[in-house]
Each structure stands twice: as C-alpha cells, then as structure tokens.
Structure 1
Amino acid sequence: MAFGHDMVHSLATVVELVNTSPSTGGDERLADLAELRAFVRSRQVSGIGSLTPRDLMEVRRVREAFHRVFTAADQPTAVRTLNALIGETRITPRLTEHDGHPLHMHYFAADAALAEHLAADCGVALAHLLVEGEAERLRTCTAPDCDRVFVDESRNRSRVYCDSRTCGNRMHVAAYRARRRA
C-alpha cells in the first residue's frame, strides 16, 4: 500500500478519531473542548480557528459515521456510508505545503469547520482505499476485550490487533500461558 504523506496522515487521523469513541470499547475521549483541542494539536490538523461546543458535537457525529465505515458488513454498505458523509462536505481539492510537510493535497474548503475538514480529508483517504480494492484493510481489533479500529498496512494483510504492544502482546501471553497449562 503505497500512499503519499497526506493519505497516510489522513488514515492515521481517522483511526485515532474513531478510537476516541466509547463505541470502540473505551471511555469517551472527546468529552470536552479541551480534549478536542488536544486531538487537533496531536494530529496537526491545519487551518482550524477557535472551537465551539457545536464543533465538538459535529466531530462526534462524523466520528460515528467513520466508525460505521470501518465496521460495515460489506463494501457496498461502507461505500453508501462514506458517500453520505463526504456528500455533506464542500470538497475543494488544492495542493499545499505547510508545517514542514512536503507538497500534498487538501480536500476541505478553506473556511471549513473542523468536522467538515475531517470528513473531507479523511473521507477522501478512505474513499481511495475502497477504490483501490483495499477495503479489507479497514479492521477492528480481534482481541476479545477491544473494539478499536485500525488500517492494516502490513504487506500480506495479516495484522489482527490494533497494537502489537498492547492487545497483541496480551493475547500472545494468554496463549502461551494456556499452552503451558495444557
């Protein structure tokens, strides 16, 4: 899967956004504007001014739509969900260089609110993945107590855990202990 910086960044952003949801088995990690600001800072989301409670509400709505894309039963359902989401945006492709990043594409309108910005940029990244026939790379962790999402970037599409250091390690240790007991 050879994508440019902008695609890789957008895919990582959508994964991190979805994983802030209690739908993925944890606590709400966008509980207030301070957490939303921290998310914007950590993901280096550019062109965002002050944030309001409406921004928080809209970002949560976009986040849940993205979650439905990751957990769709089939590709047509994922496509319908993603089309509905990006259909709400004013997609305005443009080339840009900023913050030390090489030339890349932005898809959001210059005056877009945060939710529209994320829906456009992350939505287009997911759309490219679907167009390339890579929908099976959109995964949910197989650890029994984890529902976090991830994009499987492994060459042979074999990744099954959201993070090999946490869920992967925990499951491997459990399997080892079970074998030792047997």
Structure 2
Amino acid sequence: MLWDDFMKSDYHDWRGTGHSEDRLDKPGWLEQWLAIHNLPYPGAPSTKELDELRWLRGHMRRIVQKLTVRESADPADLEGLNRALSGGPMYLRIAESDSDFRLESIPLEAGWSRIGAEVATSFGRILTDCEPSRLRICENSDCLAVYYDETRNRSKRFCDDKLCGNLLKVRRFRARQKAAKAGSSSIPEVSDIIQ
C-alpha cells in the first residue's frame, strides 16, 4: 500500500544495529517508491517539500500510536492529514475498458503536494474504509515499522514474522539458554553443602 511504504521511509534497522535513516533523503528512493505505485515523479523535491512530507509522516505515525493504545487521534494530527488532502484537488471522469466502466480521479496538480495528498488519501482509506484498530507498530523495538494487521484473529505482532518475528524468537531462546546456564553454575555442588 502507498501509505505504509511511505511510512517505511523512516527506516530503523530491525536487527538492532542502531542504524536508522530517513530514506526521503536517499537519492533515488522517492523516484523508485513512486514508480512502484504508478505515480509520476515530479522531480527532486525542494527542502520545503521534503519537510512537508516528513511532517505528514509524523502526523500519520502519531495517529497510529494513539490508535494502538486505543486512544483518540489528536485533532492536530487529523488536521495535518486534512491539510495534506487539500493539496491534491482532482476531478472525476468515467472511462471505459473492455466493456467495463470505471471512475477515475484525475489530479489537477502534478507536484509534491499531489503526492502528499495521494499518501494522505491512502492512509485515510485505512481510517475510514477499514478497521483502524488493526493498525499496529512492530513489537521489535529496533524496527518500529507501522503495518495493518490482516490476520483473522488480529494477532500479528511483527511487521514481518520471518524477519522481526524470528529475530526476537532467537533472542528469547538465547536469553533462556544463558539464564539456564547462569542458574546451573550458581547451584552449589552436593560436596560443598556436606562440608
């Protein structure tokens, strides 16, 4: 989805190295991200446009953080989302293909404000058309990726069970092994007790 790939632009190394980066600053990342989602690349963003993208990402993260602890979203964050939505005015038109009709939205603008509006729309659809209570933040404290839990029983704890899930499983196993080893070395020998 457009919105969650955008949220991944705030990257934290899930393996625990402490490395993090803002991929919005990484050359080529924005262009590749837009190509994946069939959106036009409006050229390199200005400093102000990059700040607005970061600002939108921050509002989205804070909304998710509130929802994951079953609190209401802050009105300022919703206003930030609405502000981004207002940057992408569009008109609707009907198109036909293979005897089917579809409604298309055609943007009136082609710049970065339109991209911000597309991201805000994608996130807004999760809030309005889906179940916002399924929004999650990965339980791997080194990762903190945002995702939408599509499991039937709403039990997904990690953004990726094969990466973050397995990593934490291995860490818990090693911690138990280490604790068991430390616990067994502190048990006195029978000969020490008899003396």
- TM-score, length basis structure 1: 0.69
Aligned equivalents of 1:16, 1:152: Cα separation in 2: 15
Aligned equivalents of 1:105, 1:173: Cα separation in 2: 48
Secondary structure at the counterpart of residue 144 of structure 2: coil
Cα separation, partners in 2 of 1:49 and 1:166, compared to 1, 3 Å: same
More strand by share: 2
State the 4+ residue runs in structure 1 displaced beyond 6 angstroms: none
Query: How much has 1:67 moved relative to structure 2?
Result: 1.8
Aligned equivalents of 2:149, 2:120: Cα separation in 1: 17
Cα separation, partners in 2 of 1:137 and 1:48, compared to 1, 3 Å: same
Cα separation, partners in 2 of 1:131 and 1:23, compared to 1, 3 Å: same
Which residue among 92, 95, 111 is the counterpart of 1:94? 92
Cα separation, partners in 2 of 1:86 and 1:118, compared to 1, 3 Å: farther
Matched pairs, number? 164
Query: How much has 1:104 moved relative to structure 2?
Result: 6.8
Contact 2:62/2:77 (<8 A) preserved: yes
> What is the identity, as a one-letter code, of the residue corresponding to 2:156?
R
Aligned equivalents of 1:176, 1:104: Cα separation in 2: 53
Secondary structure at the counterpart of residue 136 of structure 2: strand
Query: How much has 1:78 moved relative to structure 2?
Result: 5.4
Aligned equivalents of 1:32, 1:78: Cα separation in 2: 30
Query: How much has 1:27 moved relative to structure 2?
Result: 1.5
Identical aligned residues as a percent? 23
Query: How much has 1:50 moved relative to structure 2?
Result: 2.1
Residue equivalent to 2:186 = none
Aligned equivalents of 2:176, 2:115: Cα separation in 1: 45
Secondary structure at the counterpart of residue 125 of structure 2: helix
- Largest Rg, 1 or 2: 2
RMSD (CA atoms): 3.3
Cα separation, partners in 2 of 1:128 and 1:43, compared to 1, 3 Å: closer
Alignment of 1:17-56 (within 5 A): 17-21=6-10, 26-44=20-38, 46-54=39-47, 55-56=49-50
Residue segments in structure 2 that go unaligned for 5+ positions in a row = 96-100, 181-195
Residue segments in structure 1 that go unaligned for 5+ positions in a row = 1-11
Output one character per residue of 1:84-138: Cα deviation in whole Å (capped at 9) or x when no partner. Answer: 32234144363688xxxx95754x7331422x33432332333333234612211
Secondary structure at the counterpart of residue 107 of structure 2: coil
Which residue among 70, 76, 82 is the counterpart of 2:78? 82
Query: How much has 1:162 moved relative to structure 2?
Result: 1.2
Contact 2:9/2:23 (<8 A) preserved: yes
- TM-score, length basis structure 2: 0.66
Cα separation, partners in 2 of 1:28 and 1:142, compared to 1, 3 Å: same
Residue equivalent to 1:16 = 5
Which residue among 149, 154, 173 is the counterpart of 1:152? 149
Output one character per residue of 1:3-40: Cα deviation in whole Å (capped at 9) or x when no partner. Answer: xxxxxxxxx22112112126897222121453322322
> What is the identity, as a one-letter code, of the residue corresponding to 1:169?
N
Secondary structure at the counterpart of residue 27 of structure 1: strand
Report whether the alignment pairs 1:168 with 2:165. yes
